[in-house]
Amino acid sequence: MDAPNIEITPDSQYRGLIARLPPAVRPFALLARFDRPIGWWLLFWPCAWGVLLAGGAEAHWPLLLWLLGGAIAMRGAGCVYNDIVDRDLDRQVERTRLRPLASGAVSARAAWAWLSLLCLCGLLVLFRLRPEAQLVALASLAPVAAYPFMKRITWWPQAWLGLVFSWGAPVGWFAVTGGAHPALLFLYLGSLFWVLGYDTIYALQDREDDVLVGVRSSALRLGANVRRGLWVFYLLAILLWGVAFWIVRPQPLALLALLPAGFHLFRQCATLRPDDGDDALAQFRSNRTAGALVALACLVVGSSA
């Protein structure tokens, strides 16, 4: 399968706060992607949605801070684990060849030690949750561990990432209520399609290298129909979130709360330039705003239910 030749922005660069760290620390900060906060925001937003739609904004607001801390630690741990598994592939991809493990700046043993430390930080957050939420969070470990291998066996590793990055929604919900609810299922499924959409955009940057090294992605599978696929993914996300909102508050006003997020996502589809790597990266990063808009909608509906 052919892929267009697009300009790639390397994702490991010493800049901003990272450049001010001691030289021995910088590679570990890059390994956990502390220079790229978009990842922890995308992991955190579904956590916040679960808390807010469950009506926990007022009584459980400190929980949001703990979940943000957990998202930072566990996103970092996930990145370290992913790079340990993918270090040989990363050396062959233009965007990732300078990552600390791929370039040799960090040894595999040091990476495992760093991974363990980050997991300990995540464990501290886990202890702040009620037991039901702890069990839900621990159940994510198996799909998280399997994720780096999905690109080798399926054209849809982005869908698997949706399973993983949406897990915070049930964690947040259970942390507030201690139990499941029909609305939670639709909130989770909507998040899955949202992640599938934005990670397909992210994968546009690597299409040429992915073809060369033989790994798969939804961006390659969709080919020239990638924009059409995004419309479908985001439309399903909005519809599923709408069902979740309606279950919590069966009034048209609840659905109107999703309009800003829907407009933002559909604008991504309309303006995306699939062959422009810089535009794909910018559109991907704009999902931090999309997640915040959905969080505001969850706050409105959850607080008035």
- Looking at the predicted structure, is the pLDDT value of residue 241 above 80? yes
The structure's pTM equals 0.90
User: With bands split at pLDDT 50, 70 and 90, how would you rate the model's confidence at 90?
Assistant: confident
Write out pLDDT tens, residues 102-112: 888 999 999 99
Tokens standing for residue 68: 């943000």
b/e sequence 234-266, b meaning 16+ C-beta within 10 Å: bbbbbbbbbbbbbbbbeeeebbebbebbbebbe
The DSSP 8-state label assigned to residue 3 in this structure reads: -
Q: What is the dihedral of CA 152, 158, 161, 165, to 10 degrees?
A: 160
Q: In whole angstroms, give the CA distance from residue 84 to residue 110.
A: 11
- Looking at the predicted structure, is the pLDDT value of residue 250 above 50? yes
CB contact at 8 A, 63 and 176: yes
User: With bands split at pLDDT 50, 70 and 90, how would you rate the model's confidence at 6?
Assistant: very low
Task: Tell me which of 2-6, 50-54, 137-141, 182-186 is least confident.
Answer: 2-6
- In the chain, what percentage of residues exceed pLDDT 90? 77
User: With bands split at pLDDT 50, 70 and 90, how would you rate the model's confidence at 13?
Assistant: low
Q: In whole angstroms, give the CA distance from residue 278 to residue 2.
A: 20
- Looking at the predicted structure, is the pLDDT value of residue 305 above 90? no
Q: Which domains does the chain carry? A: 16-304 (1.10.357.140)
- Looking at the predicted structure, is the pLDDT value of residue 51 above 50? yes
Q: In whole angstroms, give the CA distance from residue 40 to residue 122.
A: 13
Query: Would you state the pLDDT for residue 16?
Result: 65
pLDDT, mean over the chain: 92
Q: By C-alpha distance, which of 73, 82, 68, 159 is closest to 119?
A: 73
Instruction: Please give the span between the terminal C-alpha atoms of the chain, in angstroms, as a whole number.
Output: 50
Query: Would you state the pLDDT for residue 206?
Result: 86
Q: In whole angstroms, give the CA distance from residue 91 to residue 291.
A: 32
User: With bands split at pLDDT 50, 70 and 90, how would you rate the model's confidence at 20?
Assistant: confident
Write out pLDDT tens, residues 255-271: 999 999 999 999 999 99
Mapping DSSP to helix (H, G, I), strand (E, B) and coil, where does residue 300 land?
Answer: helix
Query: Would you state the pLDDT for residue 53?
Result: 98
- Looking at the predicted structure, is the pLDDT value of residue 279 above 70? yes
Burial status of residue 117 (CB atoms within 10 A of its CB: 0-12, 13-18, 19 or more): middle
Query: Would you state the pLDDT for residue 111?
Result: 95
Instruction: Give residue 220's identity as a one-letter amino acid code.
Output: L
- Looking at the predicted structure, is the pLDDT value of residue 11 above 80? no
Query: Would you state the pLDDT for residue 14?
Result: 54
Q: In whole angstroms, give the CA distance from residue 120 to residue 278.
A: 35
